[in-house]
Amino acid sequence: MKVLRGKDLLRVELEGSEQVWAMKTTLDIPKKHVLYAEWCEVFDEWKKWEVRLPGTYAPGILAAGSFWTEDGWDFLYISHPKGFTNPVARQVLHIETDMKRYRRYVLSMEHSEAQKVLTWMNRR
């Protein structure tokens, strides 16, 4: 996964097999639509039941793609999620937006890379 930071746009480019599992190649997140972003050592904020449409979920291995909740669409690319119904993810960048598709992004990422994204988001 490559994360590119433009002036007003964050672009996440999935590579190789990531594209197959997530059924997506590129995600564009306009800065003006970002409500909140944080890097989480542990992420377990699954408030509503999620349905994978389309994507991949293999507990302990991978959660990737589009997931529908009662709150709207999420995009996940999480390595090694623990648990079946309420998974726990480790070391992820969590981004909340006001967009219809997607309202939330949860991406496995090293802290150093996530910090670059958070610095970019805080620049006006």
pLDDT of 46 above 90: no
Is pTM, for the whole model, over 0.75?
yes
Reported as a pLDDT band with limits 50, 70 and 90, residue 85 is confident
Report yes or no: 92 and 123 within 8 Å, Cβ to Cβ: no
DSSP tag of 31: G
To the nearest 10°, report the CA torsion of 101, 104, 110, 113.
60
pLDDT of 71 above 80: yes
Reported as a pLDDT band with limits 50, 70 and 90, residue 51 is confident
Residue 64, number of CB atoms within 10 A of its CB = 29
Q: DSSP letters of 43-66?
A: E----S--EEEEEEEETTTEEEEE
Select the more confidently predicted residue: 54 or 50: 54
DSSP tag of 123: -
- Give pLDDT tens digits for 7-25: 999 999 999 999 999 999 9
The pLDDT assigned to 48 comes to 66
The pLDDT assigned to 114 comes to 95
Residue 20, number of CB atoms within 10 A of its CB = 11
